[in-house]
Amino acid sequence: MLNVAVIGMGGIGNTHAGVYQGSERANLAAVCDLDRERADAAGQQFGVPAFYSIAELVDAVELDAVSVATAGPENGGHHYEPVMECFEAGLHVLCEKPISNEIEKAREMAAKADETGLYFGINLNHRFVPPAAKAKQWVEEGRLGDLLLMNMTMWIGNPNETSPWFHIRALHPHSLDIMRYFCGDVKRVHAFFNRAPGRVCYSNVQVNLEFECGVVGHLTGSYDTNPRHNLERCEVMGTGGRFVLDNLYQELTLYPRQSDELTVVRNSIMGGLSGFAATFTNRINRWIEQVDEGAPRDEIEASGREGLAVQEIIEAAIRSHHSGRAEAVPAS
Ligand SMILES: NC(=O)c1ccc[n+]([C@@H]2O[C@H](COP(=O)([O-])OP(=O)(O)OC[C@H]3O[C@@H](n4cnc5c(N)ncnc54)[C@H](O)[C@@H]3O)[C@@H](O)[C@H]2O)c1
């Protein structure tokens, strides 16, 4: 049983707290927010003590792990300090994405986790759905043959403006994590961006990616669409066929190269995923399970290092915009 607290009680912190409270392997012991009203409201809702600083929290409560669900510039600018403070206090950390919007800080965070030997996970929740696991199984069983090509689309409507790079830094940790989940590390990227009329942020992007394994991939991203129509689509093709995972978990189809017969896996209305919120439940429960059973650090799914890897791709894409050339992605 893990004793946990949630730091940052916005909508997402409250979602984390609800998952911990529903888990048989975790005990939600406290909540924390610099904003007293938010901390108190969450404390009341979950029936746990509320704290207004991490120093007070770690002094008063015996904890094993925390969720850091702060936000900040580009939705990640406030993660660094609480994460480092919690590592200093000897706590395992599940941090919201992006690990940080500043790459130097993201590198320091991943290094600090390694130095302390603590677990570090990132809430890259989109991959924690049964059809993604099924598609991965098809890849591992060789049903696609040798992998060759991948296409990924992730698009939502987000009118917020914080900086030119808000869209790619805040949203595309998710899409790039799915791409890495199936095809591994990325070697080089070449990216083109544009802005919808009147926007400050580059709200549309097209990225070509070359993976270490030789796969060539493409990412389409946007903050100018309606995700109720379709949030994301992932397609992986190999010498033996391809799969399409449509809309995160709604429908997975295998198209074998040598046959006209398709295999289709639909999200069932009887016990399938009930909505996007279920991705948080699945991801956080997997984190609890791995930390509680003492999994080897390098087996932590959607780890801090993987959170860093996607930010390295994002920064290389931004460099490519400036240089007009394909840019190398540093190893994480
Ligand atoms: N994984 C997903 O699918 C998903 C979806 C949406 C948002 N997010 C991420 O969730 C995070 C939180 O989003 P939100 O909308 O709930 O943000 P929010 O701004 O509503 O809430 C963040 C809270 O953190 C508090 N805070 C900031 N620094 C703090 C500190 N040092 N100690 C204690 N509290 C502190 C703020 O006072 C605020 O109440 C963001 O990083 C965002 O990118 C993830």
Would you put residue 115 in left (φ > 0), alpha (ψ -120 to 50) or beta? alpha
Ligand 1 atom having least distance to the Cα of 70: 24
Regarding the beta carbon of 164 and ligand 1, being less than 6 Å apart is answered no
**Residue 321, H or E segment:** helix 304-323
How many angstroms is it from 83 CA to the middle of ligand 1?
A: 13
Choose among 77, 81, 93: nearest CA to 6: 93
Per-residue pLDDT of the chain (332 residues; tens, 9 = 90+): 999 999 999 999 999 999 999 999 999 999 999 999 999 999 999 999 999 999 999 999 999 999 999 999 999 999 999 999 999 999 999 999 999 999 999 999 999 999 999 999 999 999 999 999 999 999 999 999 999 999 999 999 999 988 999 999 999 999 999 999 999 999 999 999 999 999 999 999 999 999 999 999 999 999 999 988 989 999 999 999 999 999 999 999 999 999 999 999 999 988 899 999 999 999 999 999 999 999 999 999 999 999 999 999 999 999 999 999 999 999 98
* Backbone CA torsion sign across 303, 24, 133, 129: negative
Ligand 1 atom having least distance to the Cα of 52: 33
Q: Spell out the domain ranges in the chain.
A: 2-125+283-300, 127-273+309-328
How many angstroms is it from 171 CA to the middle of ligand 1?
A: 14
Q: How many other C-beta atoms are found inside a 10 Å radius of the C-beta of residue 167?
A: 28
How many angstroms is it from 119 CA to the middle of ligand 1?
A: 20
In the numeric block, the tokens 């607290």 are attached to 5
User: CA distances (Å), 313 to each of 195, 208, 224, 280, in order?
Assistant: 20, 11, 22, 24
Mutate to test the pocket of ligand 1, among 7, 70, 88 (most ligand atoms within 8 A of CB): 70
Mutate to test the pocket of ligand 1, among 96, 102, 125 (most ligand atoms within 8 A of CB): 96
Tokens of 180: 């890495």
Architecture per CATH, domain 127-273+309-328, reads as 2-Layer Sandwich (3.30)
How high is the pLDDT of residue 49?
98
Model confidence pTM above 0.75 = yes
Regarding the beta carbon of 307 and ligand 1, being less than 6 Å apart is answered no
How high is the pLDDT of residue 162?
86
How high is the pLDDT of residue 271?
87
Domain 2-125+283-300 belongs in CATH node 3.40.50.300: no
How high is the pLDDT of residue 161?
87
* pLDDT tens by residue, 19-43: 999 999 999 999 999 999 999 999 9
User: CA distances (Å), 307 to each of 62, 172, 232, 310, 315, in order?
Assistant: 27, 11, 19, 6, 13
Residue ID of nearest Cα to ligand 1 atom 21: 10
| 258 Cβ neighbours under 8 A, 6+ residues apart | 240, 241
